[in-house]
């Protein structure tokens, strides 16, 4: 799990993260964790609330420093956020004071990409997420699902090789979520060398539909590391395949629910 080589996108080396609780006491959100994620892998982090998924994602993003240990992305130690990593959160991933096209272009503009080039890239990704014609719209005019499409177009247009998504579809309805799975997977599989995706979710079926690999977190540890070999493209029928059902059972057991439906 912890061997690195030149195909490694993300390497987490013996990372511990502690938080001081207001009023006293300490929480260990990551407890001497090590893991490697190869380039191009789509990894979902699942696990019960408070097990450390967001903490790990934020440390990889460089938004939070480990208390001990270190993280490397493409062989470079993470010391803060950088354009090599694109982040989408459940909320607030789109700037409300910029139009749709300005949002998508913003990161490219910051990196000095010439106006014509960044406009062409932004239009291409906007079309890919199905929002052609909404270039000049304001975020307040869009639905939650459309805003997620803008956020996805933005991280892909920015060209980051590592995408870090924290429950990006958590607040959306069932149909919109499934449409966005298709959008995300079609952009991800568009590149010959897929981008590396780390995707935090509470939703086990979502993880089984999206991931190459699922890491089940439990109290700051990795309780299970599952390869999801089900062929792509996947749909809700894929969730009924025996190997997928077996993975689901393992995940439910680790998060404290018996497959029979009773709590452990």
Ligand X SMILES: Nc1ncnc2c1ncn2[C@@H]1O[C@H](COP(=O)(O)OP(=O)(O)OP(=O)(O)O)[C@@H](O)[C@H]1O
Positions that interact with ligand X (CB under 6 A): 19, 21, 27, 29, 47, 49-55, 202
Residue with Cβ nearer ligand X (33 or 228):
33
Compute the least distance from the CB of residue 217 to ligand X, in Å: 6
Compute the least distance from the CB of residue 21 to ligand X, in Å: 6
Residue with Cβ nearer ligand X (65 or 120):
65
Give the start-end residues of each E strand in 103-259: 162-166, 196-200, 213-218, 221-227
Taking a C-beta distance cutoff of 8 angstroms, is the pair 57, 213 a contact? no
Residue with Cβ nearer ligand X (50 or 256):
50
User: 66-97: b or e for each residue (b if 16 or more CB lie within 10 Å)?
Assistant: beebebbbeeeebeeeeebbbbbbbeebbeee
Distance CA 251, CA 216 (A): 7
Phi-psi region of 14 (alpha: psi -120 to 50; beta: other; left: phi over 0): left
Taking a C-beta distance cutoff of 8 angstroms, is the pair 172, 184 a contact? no
| Cα–Cα distances in angstroms (integers) from residue 223 to residues 33, 51, 69, 73, 111, in the given order | 11, 11, 20, 23, 39
Distance CA 105, CA 114 (A): 10
Residue with Cβ nearer ligand X (55 or 158):
55
Residues 6 or more apart whose Cβ sits within 8 Å of residue 31: 16, 219, 220, 221
Compute the least distance from the CB of residue 54 to ligand X, in Å: 3
| Cα–Cα distances in angstroms (integers) from residue 64 to residues 56, 89, 113, 156, in the given order | 9, 15, 28, 23
Place of tokens 């870090």: 164
Compute the least distance from the CB of residue 153 to ligand X, in Å: 25
Compute the least distance from the CB of residue 53 to ligand X, in Å: 4
Compute the least distance from the CB of residue 140 to ligand X, in Å: 26
Compute the least distance from the CB of residue 52 to ligand X, in Å: 4
């Amino acid at each position: 799990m912890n061997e690195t080589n030149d195909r490694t996108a993300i390497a987490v080396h013996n990372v511990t993260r502690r938080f001081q609780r207001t009023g006293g006491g300490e929480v260990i959100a990551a407890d001497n964790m090590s893991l490697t994620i190869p380039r191009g892998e789509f990894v979902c982090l699942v696990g019960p609330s408070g097990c450390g998924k967001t903490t790990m994602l934020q440390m990889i993003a460089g938004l939070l420093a480990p208390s001990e240990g270190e993280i490397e992305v493409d062989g470079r130690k993470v010391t803060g956020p950088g354009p090599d990593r694109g982040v989408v959160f459940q909320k607030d991933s789109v700037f409300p004071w910029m139009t749709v096209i300005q949002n998508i272009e913003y990161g490219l503009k910051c990196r000095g990409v010439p106006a014509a080039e960044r406009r062409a890239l932004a239009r291409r990704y906007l079309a890919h997420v199905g929002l052609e014609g909404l270039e000049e719209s304001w975020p307040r005019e869009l639905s939650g699902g459309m805003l997620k499409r803008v956020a996805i177009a933005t991280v892909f247009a920015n060209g980051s090789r590592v995408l870090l998504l924290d429950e990006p579809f958590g607040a959306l309805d069932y149909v919109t979520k499934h449409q966005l799975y298709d959008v995300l997977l079609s952009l991800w599989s568009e590149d010959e060398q897929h981008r590396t995706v780390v995707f935090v979710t509470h939703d086990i079926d979502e993880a089984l539909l999206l991931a190459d690999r699922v890491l089940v977190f439990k109290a700051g540890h990795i309780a299970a590391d599952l390869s999801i070999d089900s062929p792509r493209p996947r749909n809700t029928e894929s969730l009924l395949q025996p190997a997928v059902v077996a993975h689901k059972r393992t995940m439910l057991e680790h998060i404290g629910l018996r497959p029979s439906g009773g709590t452990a």
